[in-house]
């Protein structure tokens, strides 16, 4: 596993989403490296980390072991985990499996598995927003996303930032280089393929009965901060509704003028929320 680190002290790990890599957290590495050991890995399958063949190598039960092994390698029994998008999906699962290893959990625009499964079954808005996932699981996904010099990924991730000024040409080069690593695009897409959690096709009749979930098995027993850019076109704010049923010690920070890429758009705000939360005693509040 390739990772970038900064500083010393208590461990704080930053887990990126799709189609990013450790570089998503460059601003956080600089900020939290002042008083923590701040570590941002390339997750399995991405950029410079190994890319095992086979979709089964990207099951969430394997992905959480990567994080556990990283913390152990770094010599820390407990740590704070900060995660976005697919990194957040892995982080939710890690918190469910290993609550004793986490001091705090910070989730940024990544749905809790119980809430998301329910929305995919019954919420038309989230079903529509998630249709891209169906394409991502097809054999054609790599060709579609990489054609014309990764034009589709660039349009989704980089173009808004280049236009608005939170990305520059150096950032663009870094992302194109990471996407171009042999096997990296397949590695990232295998997270979707392994999850086997897709929205129904458009026009599918609603289910006859509501999805029944084991709330106890999906309860996160770690102090948790959720930061949510409410303009996210892929993950609707409905993912926050009923979240407190699964996360008893929950703090939510809604950001109305940010979207899925809030980590890049508002790094100072994100850093401030994380610092406030890491320093605070356990409590539950929503803002």
| d(C-alpha 213, C-alpha 118), whole Å | 8
* 161 DSSP 8-state letter: H
Strand, coil or helix: 40: strand
**Average pLDDT score over residue span 211-228:** 93
pLDDT at 174 over 90: yes
CATH 3.40.640.10 fits 3-203+214-286, yes or no: no
Residue 19: asked if its preceding bond is cis (omega within 30°), the reply is yes
pLDDT at 283 over 70: no
The whole-number pLDDT of residue 280 equals 84
* 156 DSSP 8-state letter: I
| d(C-alpha 265, C-alpha 186), whole Å | 27
Give the full edge-to-edge strand order of the sheet including 79-84: 3-6, 37-41, 11-15, 79-84, 102-108, 224-229, 250-255, 285-286
Measured CA distances, 192 to 58, 164, 172, 208 (Å): 9, 29, 24, 26
pLDDT at 11 over 90: yes
pLDDT at 265 over 80: yes
The answer to whether residues 25 and 261 touch, using CB atoms and an 8 Å cutoff, is no
pLDDT single digits (tens) 33-88: 999 999 999 999 999 999 999 999 999 999 999 999 999 999 999 999 999 999 99
Predicted TM-score (pTM) of this structure: 0.95
The whole-number pLDDT of residue 282 equals 44
| d(C-alpha 140, C-alpha 182), whole Å | 17
β-pairing, 37-41 vs 11-15, is: parallel
pLDDT at 206 over 80: no
Name the burial class of residue 95, with classes exposed (0-12), middle (13-18) and buried (19+) by CB atoms within 10 angstroms of its CB. buried
Sorted by where each begins, the domain ranges of the chain are: 3-203+214-286
The whole-number pLDDT of residue 285 equals 47
User: Taking the mean position of all CA atoms in its chain, how far away is CA 5?
Assistant: 19
Higher-confidence position of 212 and 271? 271
pLDDT single digits (tens) 159-168: 999 999 999 9
Beta bridge partners of 272: none
Strand, coil or helix: 181: coil
Beta-carbon contacts of 75 under 8 Å, excluding residues fewer than 6 positions away, are none
Residue 61: asked if its preceding bond is cis (omega within 30°), the reply is no
The answer to whether residues 235 and 129 touch, using CB atoms and an 8 Å cutoff, is yes
Active site residues: 85, 192, 260
| d(C-alpha 234, C-alpha 81), whole Å | 23
């Amino acid at each position: 596993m390739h990772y970038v680190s900064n500083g010393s002290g208590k461990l704080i790990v930053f887990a990126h989403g799709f189609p990013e890599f450790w570089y998503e957290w460059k601003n956080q590495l600089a900020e939290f490296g002042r008083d923590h050991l701040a570590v941002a890995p390339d997750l399995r399958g991405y950029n410079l980390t190994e890319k095992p063949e086979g979709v089964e190598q990207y099951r969430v039960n394997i992905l959480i072991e990567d994080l556990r092994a990283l913390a152990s390698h770094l010599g820390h029994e407990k740590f704070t985990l900060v995660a976005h998008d697919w990194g957040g999906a892995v982080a939710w699962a890690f918190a469910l499996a290993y609550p004793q290893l986490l001091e705090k959990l910070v989730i940024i625009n990544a749905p809790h598995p119980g809430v998301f499964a329910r929305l995919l079954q019954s919420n038309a808005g989230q079903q529509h927003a998630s249709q891209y996932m169906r394409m991502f699981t097809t054999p054609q996904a790599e060709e579609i996303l990489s054609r014309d010099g990764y034009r589709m990924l660039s349009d989704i991730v980089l173009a808004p930032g280049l236009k608005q000024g939170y990305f520059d040409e150096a950032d663009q080069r870094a992302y194109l280089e990471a996407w171009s690593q042999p096997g990296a695009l397949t590695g990232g897409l295998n997270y979707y393929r392994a999850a086997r959690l897709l929205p129904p096709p458009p026009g599918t009749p609603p289910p006859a009965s509501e999805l029944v979930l084991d709330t106890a098995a999906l309860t996160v027993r770690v102090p948790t901060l959720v930061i949510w850019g409410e303009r996210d076109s892929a993950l609707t704010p409905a993912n926050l509704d009923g979240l407190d049923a699964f996360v008893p010690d929950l703090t939510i920070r809604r950001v109305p003028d940010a979207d899925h890429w809030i980590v890049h758009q508002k790094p100072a705000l994100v850093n401030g929320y994380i610092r406030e939360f890491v320093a605070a005693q356990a409590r539950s509040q929503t803002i």
